[in-house]
Amino acid sequence: MEILIGILTLVIAGLTFKYTFFSKPTEELNHLKLQFRSNQKLSQEVQKELEDYILKANATDDFVLPNITFQNYLTEIREAHAENLSDKLYDKLNKLTLSKSTILSMTKSLETQFEGLLETQTKIRLLNRVLKK
């Protein structure tokens, strides 16, 4: 009987080890994909709102930052979106074998990007409000 309990304990310990260290981080990957799609959508909104502002305010050649025009800024946002938030890149997430720590690092990076996009969107919306007055 003691041998059976020992074997059962060993099997349970082995299964626990396997699922803890060698199972796919499905939940984390799903969260990464959700964060990616959220960033993608917000980036598209920011691009649209900035483009609308540029057209309404005729601000193509106005400076948003020293030596950076609104049009250059919009171009940079579009290029960053194409490079970092494309559907092609999203599709690669399913094909890659990523560790849990890599997924968490990528998610953290996307969260930081999301915060930056929100800040940019807020500034554009404030500019649009001033424009309406």
Q: Dump pLDDT digits (tens) for 11-21.
A: 676 666 665 56
Query: In this predicted structure, what is the pLDDT of residue 25?
Result: 77
From residue 29, how far is each of 105, 108, 113, 130 by CA, in Å?
Answer: 11, 12, 18, 41
Q: Dump pLDDT digits (tens) for 76-114.
A: 999 999 999 999 999 998 888 888 899 999 999 999 999
**Global pTM value:** 0.80
Query: In this predicted structure, what is the pLDDT of residue 83?
Result: 94
Closest CA to 73 of 33, 30, 116: 116
Query: In this predicted structure, what is the pLDDT of residue 19?
Result: 59
User: Does pLDDT of 50 surpass 60?
Assistant: yes
- The mean of the pLDDT values for the chain is 89
